[in-house]
């Protein structure tokens, strides 16, 4: 919904007029490369999208947070004195989590009326939840600051949002999504070191190619996916490799050469050798990708995207037949130089680099073939890379 329409809707729901309503926004994200790397302490390469969560907000002077959204029928009221009581909400648990975690950290959470509008498709792997968390964190931190309690920067907004998803919503996610949602910049990708939170922006110049995002439309949620299981596997691999490499503090620090020398230690322990191998080599691909992009070598970048997908499919096993089919038909199109799943996997979206003047043809070709094999269609989004969190 347009912001002007949203404000009207807000007034219809909560009354009053538009003069004292505020609008906060945070972005969904796409990850270009560096998948399942953030929680291993490595570098990732996401960008913020025009798909976003906007919140129309007004303080209400009470100790209640009233929530509703354009995309759900539910209306939820949270009592700011019992914010830990809303973990089981079907909708509103992300908002409650952020408010609770910030309150615990000393922010002053005030009563307010809120209308959410999320254009990031849910369960798509484009970080709808991070966009909700970060926009919520920005709103509450702004209100807290106005009460004279605590100031916050965009990095802290991301950290608080991640903490809330980890501790309140039970998803052991890394920092990538919230960071991109908060710190994204127009037409830039972010090279983020997930161990130190150092970051730099790289212009997303793709020459004659465009980035096409496609949703395989298989729904999934991280709570019931194998996400937490993978985290356990790489932690186990790290502990074993540390017996040979004691100075290493995270998997991402291990070079491909060191890994090849010591990986025999992981043999015979389920699939943890393959899981760790994905991490080590994916980290290497991230650095190569940034270099390729900086040097304008887009075809090389595209090939690295393909390699990333194969590794996620064969070693990390987080793709599934839908994402594999979607990327397979993407690659089969003459004019596409690379395609991979993006986000956690198990469903959700892919990114492909496609000759800009062939995008429509690409979409038709891929969708027809995908629907023939899978039995339903994919969705394709018109996206652009935009700023992250802001008060509009």
In eight-state DSSP terms, residue 60 is -
Cβ proximity to ligand GLA, 282 vs 386, nearer residue: 282
The span of 28-36, 113-121, 288-296, 349-357 binding ligand GLA (CB under 6 A) equals 28-36
The position carrying tokens 């991402």 is: 252
Instruction: Decide: is 97 part of the binding site for ligand GLA (CB under 6 A).
Output: no
Residues near 237 by Cβ (< 8 Å), separated by ≥ 6? 251, 266, 272, 273, 275, 276
Q: Please report how close the Cβ of residue 155 comes to ligand GLA at its closest, in angstroms.
A: 16
Instruction: Decide: is 177 part of the binding site for ligand GLA (CB under 6 A).
Output: yes
Q: Residue 211 forms beta bridges with which residues?
A: 353
What is the number of helices (H) and of strands (E) in the chain? Answer: 11, 13
Instruction: Decide: is 27 part of the binding site for ligand GLA (CB under 6 A).
Output: no
Q: Please report how close the Cβ of residue 28 comes to ligand GLA at its closest, in angstroms.
A: 11
The rounded distance, in Å, linking the Cα atoms of 257 and 158 is: 33
Tell which residue, 374, 330, 371, has the closest CA to residue 354. Answer: 330
Cβ proximity to ligand GLA, 41 vs 343, nearer residue: 343
The rounded distance, in Å, linking the Cα atoms of 392 and 379 is: 29
Contact between 52 and 119 (Cβ < 8 Å): yes
The rounded distance, in Å, linking the Cα atoms of 114 and 60 is: 10
Q: Please report how close the Cβ of residue 184 comes to ligand GLA at its closest, in angstroms.
A: 15
Instruction: Decide: is 36 part of the binding site for ligand GLA (CB under 6 A).
Output: yes
Q: Please report how close the Cβ of residue 130 comes to ligand GLA at its closest, in angstroms.
A: 7
Choosing from 176, 336, 363, 366, the residue that interacts with ligand GLA (CB under 6 A) is: 176
Instruction: Decide: is 343 part of the binding site for ligand GLA (CB under 6 A).
Output: yes
Instruction: Decide: is 46 part of the binding site for ligand GLA (CB under 6 A).
Output: no
- Size of interface with ligand GLA, in residues (CB under 6 A): 11
Instruction: Decide: is 346 part of the binding site for ligand GLA (CB under 6 A).
Output: no
The span of 10-18, 33-41, 78-86, 282-290 binding ligand GLA (CB under 6 A) equals 33-41
Instruction: Decide: is 212 part of the binding site for ligand GLA (CB under 6 A).
Output: no
Q: Residue 199 forms beta bridges with which residues?
A: 192
The catalytic site residues sit at 177
Between strands 46-59 and 64-69, the pairing is unpaired
**In Å, how far are 124, 344, 360 from 224, measured between CA atoms?**
15, 12, 35
Cβ proximity to ligand GLA, 110 vs 157, nearer residue: 157
Contacting residues toward ligand GLA, per CB under 6 A:
31, 35-36, 38-39, 173-174, 176-177, 343-344
């Amino acid at each position: 919904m347009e912001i002007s329409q949203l404000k009207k809707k807000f007034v219809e729901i909560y009354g009053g007029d538009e003069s004292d309503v505020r609008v906060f926004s945070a972005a969904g994200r796409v990850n270009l490369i560096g998948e399942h790397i953030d929680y291993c302490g490595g570098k990732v390469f996401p960008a913020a999208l025009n798909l976003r969560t906007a919140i129309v907000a007004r303080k209400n002077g009470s100790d209640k947070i009233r929530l509703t959204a354009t995309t759900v029928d539910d209306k939820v009221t949270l009592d700011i004195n019992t914010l830990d009581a809303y973990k089981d909400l079907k909708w509103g648990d992300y908002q409650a989590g952020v408010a609770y975690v910030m309150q615990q950290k000393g922010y002053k959470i005030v009563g307010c009326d809120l209308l959410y509008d999320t254009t990031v498709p849910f369960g798509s792997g484009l970080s709808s939840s991070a966009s909700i968390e970060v926009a919520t964190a920005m709103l509450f931190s702004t209100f807290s600051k106005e009460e004279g309690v605590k100031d916050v920067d965009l990095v802290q907004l991301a950290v608080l949002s991640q903490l809330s998803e980890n501790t309140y919503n039970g998803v052991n996610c890394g920092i990538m999504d919230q960071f991109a949602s908060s710190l994204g910049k127009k037409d830039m990708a972010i090279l983020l070191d997930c161990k130190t939170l150092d970051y730099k922006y790289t212009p997303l110049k793709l020459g004659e190619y465009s980035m096409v995002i496609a949703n395989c439309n298989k729904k999934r949620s991280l709570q019931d996916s194998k996400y937490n299981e993978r985290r356990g596997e790489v932690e186990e691999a790290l502990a074993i490799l540390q017996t040979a490499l004691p100075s290493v503090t995270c998997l991402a620090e291990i070079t491909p050469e060191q890994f090849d020398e010591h990986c025999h230690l992981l043999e015979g322990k389920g699939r943890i050798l393959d899981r760790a191998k994905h991490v080590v080599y994916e980290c290497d691909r991230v650095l190569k990708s940034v270099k390729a992009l900086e040097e304008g070598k887009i075809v090389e970048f595209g090939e690295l995207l393909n390699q990333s997908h194969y590794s996620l499919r064969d070693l990390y096993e987080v793709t599934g037949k839908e994402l594999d089919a979607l990327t397979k038909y993407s690659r089969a199109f003459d004019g596409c130089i690379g395609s991979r799943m993006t986000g956690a996997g198990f469903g959700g979206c892919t990114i492909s680099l496609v000759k800009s003047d062939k995008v429509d043809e690409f979409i038709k070709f891929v969708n027809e073939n995908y629907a023939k094999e899978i039995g339903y269609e994919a969705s394709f989004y018109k996206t652009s890379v935009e700023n992250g969190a802001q008060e509009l």
